[in-house]
Amino acid sequence: MRMFAQRAGANMTFSVGSVVFNKGDPGSCMYIVQSGVIEMVIGDKVIEVCGPNEAIGFMSMVDGAPRSSTARLRSCDASGNVIR
């Protein structure tokens, strides 16, 4: 997955506590986590925790619906690749 992501999309870096995308945002891309930990959140509840080599945000690309949760950095600065 890492090699695919590195070749397929642009690399982005996020700081701890920053938001990758918000619930309700349009979803025109997905992200492959390269490092760090991302929390998927609805309201105040963490519904999933994602780490290296995991994809986030892909459902919006599949079904065309807005983002169903917010993705934010939990620990460590994180990097990932954006696939459009």
29-64 residue pLDDT tens:
888 888 889 999 999 999 999 998 899 999 988 898
Distance from C-alpha of 48 to C-alpha of 79, rounded to nearest angstrom: 18
- Judged against a pLDDT cut of 60, whether residue 83 lies above it is answered with no
Nearest to 72 by CA among 11, 33, 21: 21
Going from the C-alpha of 39 to that of each of 57, 58, 64, 66, 80, the distances in angstroms are 12, 15, 22, 18, 14
Q: What's the pLDDT score for residue 71? A: 96
pLDDT at 66 over 70: yes
pLDDT averaged over the chain? 84
Query: Quick one: pLDDT band at residue 70, thresholds 50, 70, 90?
Result: very high
Q: How far apart are CA 47 and CA 40, in angstroms?
A: 6
pLDDT at 74 over 90: no
Task: With 0.75 as the threshold, say if the pTM is over it.
Answer: yes
